[in-house]
Amino acid sequence: MKPAVAEAETSLDAVFAALADPTRRAIVERLSKGRATVMELAEPFELSQPAISKHLKVLERAGLISQARDAQRRPRQLEPQRIKQLSDWIEKYRANLEASYERLEHYLQKLQAAEEAQRAGSERHTKAAGQGGSS
């Protein structure tokens, strides 16, 4: 594997690992609405500030969030380029799966048409045989 590809995959591994935790996903969801301080992020959870800080460190190491500087405050914010990287990766596989489903649907339609044609031919043969024997 090429170094750039390996680095990108390792990088995505960190993102998926960070998002595997429901608390961290909730933090990302909250930050999608705008910057927030550690205390603001801790509010909806029954977790201590150190516990929230650990979650934030995981998200920061994965590159999903960063710390902004706003006078005395240090609010956290989403890193949109990282979210886009994740979205692009998912989109690539979604497009591949969609193409596979379309090929499968086309194949199933061909099978169904062939089956219907065979059934219609069989019914014509049965009717013809029935009419030939009654004269």
CATH of the domain at 68: 1.10.10.10
Residue 104 lies in a domain: no
User: What is the structure's pLDDT at 6?
Assistant: 46
Start-to-end CA distance of the chain, whole Å, equals 77
Residue 61 lies in a domain: yes
User: What is the structure's pLDDT at 132?
Assistant: 59
User: What is the structure's pLDDT at 5?
Assistant: 45
Q: Which residue is it, tokens 């029954």? A: 46
- pTM comes to 0.66
User: What is the structure's pLDDT at 58?
Assistant: 96
Residue 116 lies in a domain: no
* 3-class DSSP state of 43: coil
The DSSP call for residue 46 is S
Within 20-79, residue ranges assigned H as helices are: 22-31, 38-42, 49-61
User: What is the structure's pLDDT at 134?
Assistant: 53
Which of these, 62, 51, 1, 68, lies nearest to 28 by C-alpha position?
A: 62
Those residues with Cβ within 8 angstroms of residue 19's Cβ, 6 or more apart along the chain or in another chain: 25, 28, 62, 64
Phi first, then psi: give them for residue 67, nearest 5 degrees.
-100, 125
Structural domain range at position 71: 3-78
Residue 122 lies in a domain: no
Token pair recorded at residue 60 = 């920061």
Residue 123 lies in a domain: no
Residue 107 lies in a domain: no
Segments of the chain scoring below 50 in pLDDT: 5-6, 135
